[in-house]
Amino acid sequence: MNNEVLFPEINLIKQDEFYLFYEMMVQSLKTDDVKEGINKSFSLLRTFLNSGNISLYRKNSDNFYTFQISDSKMNDLTKPVGLIVNKTKDLAKQKSILKLNLNLSENINNVTLLNIMVDDCDYILAIINNDETKELESQFFERVKDTMQIILKRAISYEKNIAAISTDLLTGLDNRNSYEMRIQSINEADEDLVFGIFDLFRLNYINDNYNHLKGDLYIKSVAKILNKYWPKQKNIINDDLTESHIDTGHCIYRIGGDEFVLLTKIDSLSKALIKAELARKETSNIDLGIEDNLILGLNYGIVKHISGDYLKQTSIRADEIMKEDKSKMYKKYQIDRRR
- CATH classification at residue 272: 3.30.70.270
Q: Are residues 11 and 151 in the same domain?
A: yes
- Return the minimum-mean-pLDDT range out of 99-108, 129-138, 191-200: 99-108
Of the pLDDT bands very low, low, confident and very high (cuts 50, 70, 90), residue 301 is: very high
Please report the pLDDT score of residue 6 as a whole number.
41
Residue 70 lies in a domain: yes
pLDDT surpasses 70 at 225? yes
Residue 18 to residue 21: CA distance in whole angstroms? 5
Q: Are residues 202 and 111 in the same domain?
A: no
Going through the chain in order, the beta strands assigned E by DSSP cover 53-59, 65-72, 97-100, 111-118, 121-128, 174-175, 194-201, 233-237, 243-247, 250-254, 259-264, 297-304
Residue 112 lies in a domain: yes
Q: Are residues 188 and 322 in the same domain?
A: yes
* Domain membership of residue 223 as a residue range: 174-332
Amino acid at 193: L
Q: Which of 148, 166, 184 is the last residue of a domain?
A: 166
Number of domains in the chain: 2
What would the mean pLDDT of 186-192 be, rounded to a whole number? 82
Please report the pLDDT score of residue 10 as a whole number.
47
Share of the chain above pLDDT 70, in %: 79
pTM of the model: 0.63
Residue 305 lies in a domain: yes
User: DSSP state, 292?
Assistant: T
Q: Which of 135, 166, 197 is the last residue of a domain?
A: 166
Contacts of 292 (CB under 8 A, 6+ apart): none
Q: Are residues 154 and 182 in the same domain?
A: no
Q: Are residues 156 and 28 in the same domain?
A: yes
pLDDT surpasses 60 at 57? yes
pLDDT surpasses 90 at 91? no
Q: Are residues 81 and 108 in the same domain?
A: yes
